[in-house]
Structure 1
Amino acid sequence: MYNVSVLNVKPGSKLTKDVFTPLGALLFHKETILLARDLDILRAFLVDYVEIQEVGDKGIQAKDILANKDTTLTADKLVVNAPSISENERSSFVKEYERMVNLTKNGYSSVLAAGIPIYEIRNQLERMVSHIKEYHILSFTPCILNDYDYIYHNAVLCALSSYKLAQWCGLPQKDWLQAAFAGLFHDIGKIKVDPAVLYKPSTLTTDEIKEMRQHTKYGYQILKNVTGINEGVRLSALQHHEKVDGTGYPMNVESSKIHIYAKMVGIVDIFHAMTLNKVYRLGQSPYLVLEQIHAESFGKLDPELVQVFIKRVTEFHNGTVVRLSSDQIGEIVFSNSNNPTRPMVSINGDIINLEQSRHLYIEEIVDTDGQL
């Protein structure tokens, strides 16, 4: 065991004692084998000395150093990276996603004449969520070729994200698929809205806004007699634009009267609506959208659900490649759980702390394998 100046620590050294920031947040756990970027983090946090067991001492092997590449730290815990996804697994998720979008599109189109093909949709939804571990909310970006397909992509993405949020917030397993149904059907009432209003690229008039807002009531009416879904799914179609302070629509109800599915869908719908690309408007940075959602949690969205959503979707690992608003490409090297949308990013060896550099933000996750 050696108490060594950080300036003299070499990559591959193994910590024999936990390392904390000057403010007391856990930075690295005991037994961590330090990589080169970890040394940058130590210096960035002004840590002067660490206790280490140097490479070559008993117990440190090359395999340990390699294993350490699959771990990362947030400010409060150690997170182990998921194993890499094979090409077959990844393509399976994409394939099921595309099938779900097409089935949703066909189902929405025929609902007024033939009703919802609920059993076919349920079977496909189950097949898609069986690959849920391959779905990463911040980095999965479908390519929408036209605005008419936007509603179907938004529906399927809200289904996936609602399923995950139901898991994350501790709902019983029986609710997970129903929460996914809530996300999938939340905008089904829009099929009864005048297409000239629904797809209008410019600002809506007062009368057009009133018509658009009717989609919540239309949706509840469409789902009212559908079997295989519970009342929470129907209420999500009605209530996903309600706000916890009673300022939403269509009923202006307050938090205690809004179903939890509707609260979850309200969060993920805002996220996907703002990040998806449209012909007349490019999607916004998912990190900026998360910051806006956080701001909305003060009186508009359920604050506990927002906190869970932001915390879990930003749990990326060391080495995640991102593009900043300055067009610089770098790697996330440290994420503070108190401000997860503004991690520390390493760019060509320089550490940029986005908590301090407020003029910068993460524009996107650079992950071509996660795009369609």
Structure 2
Amino acid sequence: MPTVLLNQVKAGDKLTRDVQTKLGGTLFYKGKVLMSREIEILQAFMVQSVVVETKEGSEEHQSAPPASSAKEEHASEPAAPATAFEQEYFNTVNLLKKVHRQYSPGQVFPILEIRKQLELLIGHIDEYSVLTFIPDVTDTYDYMFHNSVLSALTSYLLARWGGFKQRDWIPAALSGLFHDIGNLKVDRELLIKPGTLTASELEEIRQHTVLGYQLLKPVPAINEGVKLASLQHHERVDGSGYPLGMGGDQIHPYAKIVAIADTFHAMTLKRAYRIPMSPYLVLEEIQKESFGKLDPALVRIFIEKVTRFHNGTVVRLNDDRVGEIVFSDRNHLTRPWVSVNGTIVNLTTERQLYIKEIVKL
């Protein structure tokens, strides 16, 4: 088990000892296979050497391998198996797509099948991270299904975090899952149109709220709060939303939850007409919206919970530097202090910088 200088580490080397940062955080654990991305992170943290598994002898690390051999090793690296959470997540997305594809007016809505699948997914909720689980949506039409499933997961958590009774948690998740169900009756081409919508097209899109409520209303297995969330999730506390311009206590609590979840995921997922935003910038936008638009108490809980970092969390800034969170100010939860190569970057004062993403190790 030789100790190898970082500039002699080869793609495919396996760690036999944890790699620690200077501040005591763990960058990589024993057994991690180092590829180009991991080596880049080690370089960013100025790690001088690592302990790797012996193959044919420590001499093999005295010089860098030929480029072709590194490529061959990289190509042969087995893909990480999907987690149980990921498997159930994509099962839920695919079920929604199936319902949308097969639905016709007058058809019995398959609520029991959908609820059963959602409960299977919720069974793995502890594996879900709001900030880091952002699927790569490659198909424009698929955005709608990913947004719905993610909104379901986040709505479930927000109901739990917000002190709602346990009997409300699954209905809150169903509210997130069905909030855009009215799009079943909206022209598909309009839903994926990349350019600016005309006034009449925008009005047609907005009708998905009313259409969704009408679709869910006759379904006895769905409670009224879930149905109202499909109607009201674009209403705003100050009465500036649609379709009815409701405000304050007129809006059902489930709809207030879904409004936050939907806003977050709509801005962090890739869309046909724009690139996704950093989750941390989106949180700041949501915080601004809490002044008159979104429920301020729920927004505060949401931001507190999803930004509950441990010191040592590795993040990438918008200038592509990689660093380690060393301090979080409770008054500026989206802007902690980050140690980059031993230099502290205070995101509270250096406003041009922000966290682009958490680096998954």
- In the alignment, which residue of structure 2 is the partner of 1:58? none
CA contact (8 A) 2:332 2:348 kept: yes
**Per-residue deviation, 1:120:** 1.0
- In the alignment, which residue of structure 2 is the partner of 1:201? 194
CA contact (8 A) 2:24 2:312 kept: no
- In the alignment, which residue of structure 2 is the partner of 1:43? none
Distance 1:195 1:358 in 2: 40
Q: Aligned pair 1:312/2:298, yes or no? A: no
The counterpart of 1:245, out of the listed 238, 260, 274, is: 238
Q: Which amino acid aligns with 2:318?
A: S
Q: Aligned pair 1:289/2:282, yes or no? A: yes
**Per-residue deviation, 1:109:** 2.7
**Per-residue deviation, 1:360:** 0.4
Distance 2:108 2:331 in 1: 46
**Per-residue deviation, 1:171:** 0.5
How many residues align? The count is 286
Residue-by-residue CA offset, 1:137-185 (whole Å, 9 max, x unaligned): 0000112120111100000000000000000001011100000000000
Which ranges in structure 2 are unaligned for 5 or more consecutive residues?
A: 1-20, 26-79
- In the alignment, which residue of structure 1 is the partner of 2:83? 91
- In the alignment, which residue of structure 2 is the partner of 1:226? 219
The counterpart of 1:37, out of the listed 2, 12, 23, is: 23
Distance 1:237 1:330 in 2: 41
SS of residue in 2 equivalent to 1:363: strand
Q: Which amino acid aligns with 2:138?
A: L
What is the TM-score with the length of structure 1 in the denominator?
A: 0.74
CA contact (8 A) 1:243 1:254 kept: yes
What RMSD, in angstroms, separates the aligned Cα atoms of the two structures? 1.7
Distance 1:130 1:227 in 2: 24
CA contact (8 A) 1:343 1:355 kept: yes
Distance 1:362 1:96 in 2: 29
- In the alignment, which residue of structure 1 is the partner of 2:100? 108
SS of residue in 2 equivalent to 1:345: strand
The counterpart of 1:150, out of the listed 111, 129, 143, is: 143
What is the TM-score with the length of structure 2 in the denominator?
A: 0.77
- In the alignment, which residue of structure 1 is the partner of 2:183? 190
**Per-residue deviation, 1:37:** 2.5
CA contact (8 A) 1:110 1:116 kept: no
Q: Aligned pair 1:303/2:289, yes or no? A: no
- In the alignment, which residue of structure 1 is the partner of 2:114? 121
Which ranges in structure 1 are unaligned for 5 or more consecutive residues?
A: 1-34, 40-86
Q: Aligned pair 1:136/2:129, yes or no? A: yes
Distance 1:110 1:346 in 2: 52
Percent same amino acid among aligned pairs? Answer: 56
**Per-residue deviation, 1:36:** 4.9
Distance 1:36 1:241 in 2: 47
Q: Which amino acid aligns with 2:193?
A: K
Distance 2:177 2:103 in 1: 14
